[in-house]
Structure 1
Amino acid sequence: MHGWGGFIIACFVFFLSHALPVRPPVKPWLVARFGARGFAWGYSALSVAVLAWLIVAAGRAPVVLLWSGPDWLRHVTLTVMFAVCVILAFTLGRPNPFSFGGTHNERFDPSQPGIVRLTRHPVLLALTLWAGAHLLVNGDLAHAILFGAFAGFALLGGGMITRRKRREMGADYERLWGATRAVPLRLSPTVGTGLRLGVAVILYGVLIALHGPVIGISPLP
């Protein structure tokens, strides 16, 4: 379905797909049948697929222009998107008890917090930057709704998750967060750092290569 109807349906399915699987008792039921790792991979795959559908649906909605920016803003968006890829590369596969999506959170070492030293919610930070960068170069109504909603969701979601985690973890939350923030910022290149930067470069290249075939618009100036 094209037009506003397709966009509205995609929005509804997107938010439904993110709300239902994590609600009790749905999540425990899914985890019991597919395991924690299976649930995480399945939920991630579903999220990516529905997100792609939502972005395509926004591109097919009628164009109602709200603003138009100069072509050099594409360079800003491309630069910010590389930062997004770096954040994601340094986030994936790392424990993070302060937010959602951490792997093996029981192994979190506050003396070696990685990117968590800078932000409790790196995935939400990446989502905010992604949405804000795309708002610069998409001034029509459908994309303004799309990326504005994502930016608002990410900004509000961080506070909601922090409050929930504080309730769940109790005194451990403040103890771990205080120990994490006490670690000085260090720029010490390691093999792991190099590998994650390599992952960021590969992810960035894949996103640029697939943007045209999947979304229908080349991100390059």
Structure 2
Amino acid sequence: MFLLAFGVLFTAALHLVAAAPSLKARIKQRLGERAYGPLFGIASIIGIAIIVLGWRSSDFVAVYDPPSWGRHANYLLTPIAFVFLGIFLFRGSWRQKVRFPMAFAVIFWAIGHLLANGDLASIILFGGFLVYAILHIVIGTLNGVRPSPVVREGHNLLSVLGGIALYGIMTQLHMALIGVPVFQLN
């Protein structure tokens, strides 16, 4: 569980830098403008790999019984999370209105999974990212963070289509990456 907790903390701290523009600017200045993006990407991949390894190596420790409807709620909340991910990835006007679409994606994803799972590893992973996303919105709001002002025609539709497509891809990869099937047909 330590590896999982470390991965969540590392990844959350890394991504909270975006909510504090002055800190991000100092880091960019120290690393160099051209090096920042690739190094951030590599660090993000490392963080996700640590999380996946930590998740897969964690023993099941039951903490609470999820509600009987929790799995169904997760089937509703996770596709919504992926639509918010699509809003984050594309440059439509919805990105301006939502302001923190990635954080909202994480919130919907985390709440859905906490309703469907009651084990310690789930609490560490999904609870940790839920706290991160809320902190990101609060810190970002206090620092006046706004999305790029660039708005592209047709990107609202692409946000929805892209989010749904990514959800479909993740449902197929979930077992291979996470070790848990999204849908269990009995």
TM-score, normalized by length of structure 2? Answer: 0.75
Per-residue CA deviations over 1:114-145 (Å, capped at 9, x if unaligned) read 2432x321111111111111111221112212
Q: Which residue of 2 aligns with 1:140?
A: 119
Q: Which residue of 2 aligns with 1:114?
A: 94
CA contact (8 A) 2:85 2:101 kept: yes
Equivalent of residue 48 in structure 2, options 47, 51, 57: 51
Distance 2:77 2:45 in 1: 20
Distance 1:77 1:164 in 2: 32
Q: Does 1:69 align with 2:48?
A: no
Per-residue CA deviations over 1:95-129 (Å, capped at 9, x if unaligned) read 8xxxxxxxxxxxxxxxxx32432x32111111111
Compare CA radii of gyration and give the structure with the larger one.
1
Closer, same or farther: CA 193–16 of 1 in aligned 2, 3 Å: closer
Closer, same or farther: CA 132–89 of 1 in aligned 2, 3 Å: same
| Structure 1 residue 216, shift from structure 2 partner | 0.7
Q: Which residue of 1 aligns with 2:128?
A: 149
Q: Does 1:80 align with 2:77?
A: yes
| Structure 1 residue 63, shift from structure 2 partner | 2.0
Distance 2:30 2:80 in 1: 36
Closer, same or farther: CA 57–160 of 1 in aligned 2, 3 Å: same
Uncovered stretches (5+) of structure 2, i.e. residues with no partner: 147-152
What letter is aligned with 2:102?
V
What letter is aligned with 1:114?
W
Higher share of residues assigned helix: 2
Q: Which residue of 2 aligns with 1:163?
A: 142
| Structure 1 residue 19, shift from structure 2 partner | 6.1
Uncovered stretches (5+) of structure 1, i.e. residues with no partner: 96-112, 170-189
Distance 1:61 1:144 in 2: 12
Distance 2:17 2:94 in 1: 31
Distance 1:218 1:45 in 2: 27
Equivalent of residue 129 in structure 1, options 100, 103, 108: 108
What letter is aligned with 2:47?
V
Equivalent of residue 201 in structure 1, options 164, 172, 180: 164
Equivalent of residue 216 in structure 1, options 176, 179, 184: 179
TM-score, normalized by length of structure 1? Answer: 0.65
| Structure 1 residue 11, shift from structure 2 partner | 3.9
Closer, same or farther: CA 49–60 of 1 in aligned 2, 3 Å: same
Q: Which residue of 2 aligns with 1:28?
A: 29
Q: Which residue of 1 aligns with 2:87?
A: 90
4+ long deviations beyond 6 Å:
none
CA contact (8 A) 1:88 1:122 kept: yes
Closer, same or farther: CA 49–75 of 1 in aligned 2, 3 Å: farther
What letter is aligned with 2:83?
V
Distance 1:158 1:23 in 2: 16
Q: Percent identity, aligned pairs only? A: 25
Q: Which secondary structure does the structure 1 equivalent of 2:66 belong to?
A: coil
